[in-house]
Amino acid sequence: MAKVLVTGGTGYIGSHTVVELQKKGHEVVIVDNLSNSNIDVLNGIEKITGVYPLFENIDCVDYVGMDRMFEKHRDIDAIIHFAASKAVGESVEKPLMYYRNNLVSLINLLQLMPVHGVKSFVFSSSCTVYGQPDVLPVTEKTPIKPAMSPYGNTKQISEEIIYDTIHANPSYNGIILRYFNPIGAHPSAHIGELPIGTPNNLLPYITQTAMGLRSELKVFGDDYDTPDGSCIRDYINVVDLAKAHVVALKRLLNIKSKQQVEVYNIGTGKGLSVFEIIHTFEKVNNVKVPHTIVGRREGDIEQIWADASRANEILKWKAAESVEDTLKSAWKWEKALKKQRQQKEKEENEASSN
């Protein structure tokens, strides 16, 4: 069993990964500055696994703070690096914030690895690096296209930084996972996605609309060159995605050769349209999602889905959850959030009346 540093471990994908790591007996140290997550996530993790993870509220951009963290939690075997800012629109408005947060965090970790004897590194990349591919599905050999946003650019640059660093340092090994579109929540509904403010992504917008928190979902375009005119994506269950990190870690810890970086697409291999997602969500959860068709969203890609056969063959990983169960888990989570809100309101009312 390994001792694993999970940066961004209270975030959406990080928290689900912490659960899967703990379930396999790994010891986890989370570093998160809570810039896009809530400390209560740690309770949710404990409810599922029975283990309250070690947690440090540190900004990965803070080299000295991270150095001290490694001193305190000695003998870390591997790092899974999720911590990053991820809102595409915001990255266009605040590019330097994105380059600083996403790149300085990464550089700090890579610099600190040899100082503290850490040899294995797993990185969260994105299918955004492929842009609109000429041939579908995309394999890891599909050419990288110029980034459409500063956020996308940070992922491309990060991949290059990881290649160069591992090439120069024979004692590192790394795995880059290119995620497609993660959706859903843990089936227990103790953890899930916590979008702050108006969601940008499709699924949280759907669940909030079904809950009545938003009046209607806007479908961004029905005039694409796809069977029903809406965009197509490869929607991957977040628990399946979390499990990909556990097998990637296992591979890194067992690797005998040196100076290695491997890249894997993590998707289902199946593309679904926006309308297919809406209609399946409505059907499996027996709720309505009021929606209207509006113009295309700037920068949207028409269609993309993964060829994940490399991960299937080498990592022995395969997406297992059906889209139906995944969409049920997303709805169960939205209902759990409603209960949490109501409980909080009740407590606040009681406190103000005392």
From the list 2, 4, 5, 10, which residue makes contact with ligand NAD (rule: CB under 6 A)?
10
From the list 126, 156, 207, 265, which residue makes contact with ligand NAD (rule: CB under 6 A)?
126
Residue 143 or 299: the one with the smaller Cβ distance to ligand UD1 is 299
Radius of gyration of the chain (CA): 20
**Is residue 151 flagged as an active site residue?**
yes
From the list 143, 299, 314, 339, which residue makes contact with ligand UD1 (rule: CB under 6 A)?
299
User: Which residue number has the CB closest to ligand NAD?
Assistant: 11
Bridge-based pairing state of the strands 3-7 and 291-294? unpaired
Find the binding residues for ligand NAD in span 173-192 (CB under 6 A). Answer: 179, 181-182
Q: What is the DSSP letter of 298?
A: T
152 touches which of ligand UD1, ligand NAD, none (CB within 5 to 8 A by kind)?
A: ligand UD1
Q: Judge contact between 209 and 215, C-beta under 8 A.
A: yes
Specify the stretch interacting with ligand UD1 by CB under 6 A; choose among 43-51, 72-80, 261-269, 295-303: 295-303
Measured torsion, CA atoms of residues 288, 179, 116, 260, in degrees rounded to the nearest 10: 170
Does 84 bind ligand NAD (CB under 6 A)? Our answer is yes
Q: Judge contact between 309 and 140, C-beta under 8 A.
A: no
Residue 235 CB, shortest distance to ligand UD1, in Å, is 8
Closest alpha carbon to 194 in 81, 76, 317, 336: 336
From the list 14, 131, 204, 267, which residue makes contact with ligand NAD (rule: CB under 6 A)?
14
300 touches which of ligand NAD, ligand UD1, none (CB within 5 to 8 A by kind)?
A: ligand UD1
Task: Name the one residue in this structure whose structure tokens are 């227990």.
Answer: 188
SS3 call for 195: coil
Q: Tell me how far apart the alpha carbons of residues 173 and 121 are, in angstroms, rounded to a whole number.
A: 6
Does 275 bind ligand NAD (CB under 6 A)? Our answer is no
Q: Tell me how far apart the alpha carbons of residues 114 and 232 are, in angstroms, rounded to a whole number.
A: 42
From the list 33, 125, 181, 265, which residue makes contact with ligand UD1 (rule: CB under 6 A)?
181
Q: Judge contact between 170 and 259, C-beta under 8 A.
A: yes
12, 151, 205, 264: the active-site residue: 151
User: Which residue number has the CB closest to ligand UD1?
Assistant: 231
List residues with catalytic annotation: 151
